Every structure is written in C-alpha cells, then in structure tokens.
C-alpha cells in the first residue's frame, strides 16, 4: 500500500454513546479505493453502529470522518450519500409490493411533465443491472417475488446507483444460501475492481477470508486489531474477536 496516498475514507477517534452504553470507543478506520475492508466482531461489538455513523444515521460524540482527506460532518444520511457513501443496511429497506425498477429509483423517479417516465426508468434500471451482471428476469417484477439473493443485489445496485464510491454493506449475505452468497460475493468483488472502497460487515469467516484485503476486528466498541488478510489466520481473527488474543 502506498503510504502517502490519502485513503478514500478515514475515521479518527470516533466515539458514540447511547446513555451509558458506549457503542464506539475511540474507533479509527481506513478504507482504500479498490480494496475490501471486512469489519468483524461479536454481537454488540459496535459494527452496525460504525456503519450507521459513517452513513450519517448516527452523529458521533467525538472524532473525525474524512472523505478523500477532507473532514466531513454528516447531519443526515443524505449528507453522507452526497459525499459518495452508499450504504446497504441489513434490512435492505426495499418495498416488496413495488417492482425492481421503481425500487431502484425510490424517491428519484424520472419524470416527463407531470408523469413518471416509466420507460426511461426501466431502461436505465436494466442497463445498470446488466452492467453489474445482476440477473433478474424483468425490471417489472415485484421485489416481493424475488429470491433473497436477488433482493440483496437489487439493494446493492440501488445504493451504488446514487453514485457512491465508498460502499458499506452490513451483513450482505446473512440471509442467503450458498449459491446466492457466491453471487453476492462476485458482485462485491465487482465493486472492488471498479475502484470502489468497500466495507463489509460479516459474521461469515469464509466470506471474509475470500473477499477481504484487510480485516478490522471490533470488540466491546473498540478496535481489537486490524490485519492484512495475507498476514493473519482465522485463529488469530477469532482470538481477537473473543479477546483471547489482544492486539
Ligand atoms: N440506537 C441505539 N440505542 C441504544 N443502544 C444502541 C443503539 N445502537 C446500538 N446500541 C448499542 O450499542 C452496542 C453496539 O451495537 P451494534 O448494533 O453496533 O453491534 P453489532 O456489532 O452490529 O452487533 P450484531 O453483530 O449483533 O449486529 C450494543 O450494546 C447496542 O445495544
Ligand atoms: Mg449489527
């Protein structure tokens, strides 16, 4: 890694408390363009709080968030989106009774005069999904009829359609079978090869070791360690997660 390059995303000393629960305690993180950073840790370790803080859902009590070396303050999720941060939350937030194209353009449906420009929306949704090699039969299918894997991929496609080059994925494969997990993994690798900085939260160690360039372990709201994948083992990562190994 080039030591002088400015990381796409840099957190310094981020702290977030809820009453007397400290969800994040002096957390730092760097994510580089064209790399995948996996964030792992036990339940309650602070992973989702970290994702929500980076994506403008939570405001940190202390610390700094820098995008391309510039300090940012996010008051709301749309501020983070405007800074190029695309987030796929664990619950996906798709609307099951609406079709694929409409889900991809939620809140931003193209118009022609007073009407929704359905043709344009469907054409753009199709092109975008084809570019990402997402296989859905028709962009007119109701999202509720799709498989878990297809929904996950629609959610990822929607997030990056808004132009994000920093992509956050919270448990993207938790609800998926083996084949769908492999498809989602391929899509995530595609994001990396397009030069995005990708952060993936996952409990799936096989997926983490398949995809990640670096692994950041969270424990009790703190960073327990950061390792290059090539220089660590599952045993070491699990030791950091449980606290039997300290950084
Ligand atoms: N909005 C909130 N209000 C109060 N406490 C919260 C809130 N969000 C997170 N916490 C607390 O912060 C801690 C970290 O939670 P977080 O959801 O970040 O963990 P996690 O690592 O994502 O866990 P999991 O693997 O179970 O998803 C927990 O103790 C949780 O109860
Ligand atoms: Mg979580």
Which atom of ligand 1 is the closest one to the Cα of 23? 12
Give 1-10 pLDDT, tens digit per residue. Answer: 555 689 999 9
Best residue for ligand 1 mutational test, from 29, 48, 242 (most atoms within 8 Å of Cβ)? 48
Sign, CA torsion 101/106/112/115: positive
Q: Whose CA is nearest to atom 25 of ligand 1?
A: 43
Which atom of ligand 1 is the closest one to the Cα of 48? 22
Q: Whose CA is nearest to atom 4 of ligand 1?
A: 18
Find out whether the beta carbon of 41 lies less than 6 Å from any atom of ligand 1. yes
Mean pLDDT, residues 176-181: 82
Give 149-167 pLDDT, tens digit per residue. Answer: 888 888 888 887 877 899 9
Q: What is the pLDDT of residue 3?
A: 57
Q: What is the pLDDT of residue 208?
A: 97
- Please state, rounded to an integer, the average pLDDT across all residues of the chain: 90
Give 80-115 pLDDT, tens digit per residue. Answer: 999 999 988 877 777 888 889 988 888 778 888 888
Give 110-159 pLDDT, tens digit per residue. Answer: 888 888 888 999 998 898 888 877 888 899 989 888 888 888 888 888 88
Give 192-240 pLDDT, tens digit per residue. Answer: 998 999 999 999 999 999 999 999 999 999 999 999 999 999 999 999 9
Best residue for ligand 1 mutational test, from 24, 47, 218 (most atoms within 8 Å of Cβ)? 47
Give the residue, 78 or 219, on which the prediction is more confident.
219
Give the residue, 187 or 209, on which the prediction is more confident.
209
Give 13-34 pLDDT, tens digit per residue. Answer: 999 999 999 999 999 999 999 9
Best residue for ligand 1 mutational test, from 18, 24, 41, 241 (most atoms within 8 Å of Cβ)? 18
Find out whether the beta carbon of 21 lies less than 6 Å from any atom of ligand 1. yes
Q: What is the pLDDT of residue 115?
A: 86
Q: What is the pLDDT of residue 147?
A: 82
Flag whether pLDDT at 246 surpasses 90.
Answer: no
Q: What is the DSSP string of the chain?
A: --TTSPPSEEEEEEEEEETTEEEEEEEEEEE-TTEEEEEE-STTSSHHHHHHHHTTSS--SEEEEEETTEEE--SSHHHHHHTTEEEE-TT----TTSBHHHHHTTT---EETTEE-HHHHHHHHHHHHHHTT---S-TTSBGGGS-HHHHHHHHHHHHHHTT-SEEEEESTTTT--HHHHHHHHHHHHHHHHTT-EEEEE-S-HHHHHHH-SEEEEEETTEEEEEEEGGG--HHHHHHHHHTSS--
Q: Cα(49) to centroid of ligand 1, in Å? A: 6
Q: How far is CA 60 from the centre of its chain?
A: 18
Give 57-71 pLDDT, tens digit per residue. Answer: 999 999 999 999 999
| Confidence (pTM) | 0.89
CA distances to 88, 95, 149, 172 from 181, rounded to whole Å, are 15, 22, 7, 8
Residue 47, both tokens: 């992973």
Flag whether pLDDT at 170 surpasses 70.
Answer: yes
- List the domains of the chain with CATH numbers: 9-92+164-242 (3.40.50.300)
Is-contact 90 174, C-beta < 8 A?
Answer: yes
């Amino acid at each position: 890694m080039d030591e002088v390059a400015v990381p796409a995303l840099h957190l310094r000393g981020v702290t977030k408390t809820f009453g007397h629960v400290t969800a994040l305690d002096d957390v730092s993180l760097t994510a580089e363009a064209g790399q995948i950073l996996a964030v792992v840790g036990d339940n309650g370790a602070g992973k989702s709080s970290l994702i929500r803080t980076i994506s403008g859902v939570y405001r940190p009590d202390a610390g700094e968030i820098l995008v391309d070396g510039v300090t940012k303050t996010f008051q709301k999720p749309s501020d983070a989106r405007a800074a190029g941060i695309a987030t796929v939350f664990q619950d996906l937030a798709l609307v099951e009774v609406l079709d694929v194209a409409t889900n991809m353009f939620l809140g931003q449906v193209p118009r022609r005069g007073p009407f929704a420009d359905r043709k344009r929306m469907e054409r753009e949704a199709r092109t975008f999904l084809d570019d990402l090699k997402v296989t859905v039969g028709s962009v007119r299918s109701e999202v509720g009829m799709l498989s878990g894997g297809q929904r996950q991929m629609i959610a990822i496609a929607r997030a990056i359609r808004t132009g994000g080059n920093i992509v956050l994925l919270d448990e993207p494969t938790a609800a998926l079978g083996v084949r769908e997990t492999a498809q989602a993994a391929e899509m995530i690798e595609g994001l990396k090869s397009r030069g995005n900085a990708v952060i993936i939260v996952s409990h799936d160690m096989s997926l983490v070791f398949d995809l990640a360039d670096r692994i950041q372990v969270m424990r009790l709201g703190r960073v327990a360690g950061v390792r290059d994948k090539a220089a660590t083992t599952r045993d070491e990562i699990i030791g950091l997660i449980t606290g039997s190994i300290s950084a």
